[in-house]
């Protein structure tokens, strides 16, 4: 669920607004996201896909987190360094909803990348958010490659899912 709604049908779920706390506790009990995916036989979602496809991701914490969640980097400087490492390797970035993390990462991403074969290609950066603020902030700071998709993340993900499964 997302904010208590089924992310595919967008119907409200009974006590769905507690689901994030339930999964936090499941992960804490098992010690890692990967172990939780295995133990609970989870088979969808962004983190599931990243784990199964061995796509690196950074979970940067904040002082307001309902955690701690194993795997989250709570120290802002360590999180920044991890984000920078991935920013240098990125070819396409899709930043979803978290304005501050999206802006921070967008400021770290180069506009191009030299590939192993010597070719140069652009780094594509998409920022999905309800507010224009995120995209404007990136554009104002010189992140010319940032393309804004102004919608809520739930609708974006449902439409992405529906179009990719065809």
Q: Tokens in use for 23?
A: 């999964």
> Could you give the percent of the chain with pLDDT greater than 90?
42
pLDDT at 88 (0 to 100)? 92
Contact between 131 and 112 (Cβ < 8 Å)? no
What local confidence, expressed as pLDDT, does residue 142 receive?
Answer: 67
Flag whether 54 is in a domain. Answer: no
Residue 103 lies in a domain: yes
Contact 79, 58 (CB under 8 A): yes
Q: What residues make up the domain containing 96?
A: 91-166
Question: Model confidence over 26-62: pLDDT tens digits?
Answer: 999 999 999 999 999 999 888 999 999 999 899 988 7
Q: Tell me how many domains the chain contains.
A: 1
- Please state, rounded to an integer, the average pLDDT across all residues of the chain: 87
8 Å CB contact between 132 and 140: no
For 60, 95, 135, the CA distances from 126, given in Å and listed in that order, are: 19, 6, 9
Domain assignment of residue 100, yes or no: yes
Q: How many CA atoms lie within 13 A of 135 on its CB side?
A: 17
Residue 131 lies in a domain: yes
Residue 107 is assigned to a structural domain of this protein: yes
3-state secondary structure of 129: strand
d(CA 106, CA 109): 5
Least confident of 5-9, 101-105, 107-111, 114-118: 5-9
């Amino acid at each position: 669920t997302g904010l208590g709604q089924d992310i595919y049908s967008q119907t409200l779920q009974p006590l769905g607004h507690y689901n994030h706390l339930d999964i936090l506790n499941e992960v804490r009990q098992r010690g890692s996201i990967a172990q939780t995916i295995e133990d609970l036989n989870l088979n969808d979602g962004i983190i599931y896909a990243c784990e199964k496809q061995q796509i690196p991701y950074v979970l940067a914490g904040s002082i307001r987190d309902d955690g701690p969640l194993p795997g989250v980097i709570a120290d802002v400087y360590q999180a920044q360094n991890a984000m920078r490492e991935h920013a240098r390797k990125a070819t396409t970035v899709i930043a979803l909803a978290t304005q501050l993390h999206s802006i921070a990462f967008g400021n770290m991403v180069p506009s191009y990348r030299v590939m192993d074969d010597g070719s140069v290609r652009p780094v594509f950066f998409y920022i999905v958010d309800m507010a224009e603020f995120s995209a404007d902030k990136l554009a104002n700071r010189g992140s010319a490659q940032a393309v804004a998709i102004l919608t809520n993340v739930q609708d974006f993900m449902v439409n992405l899912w529906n179009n990719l499964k065809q």
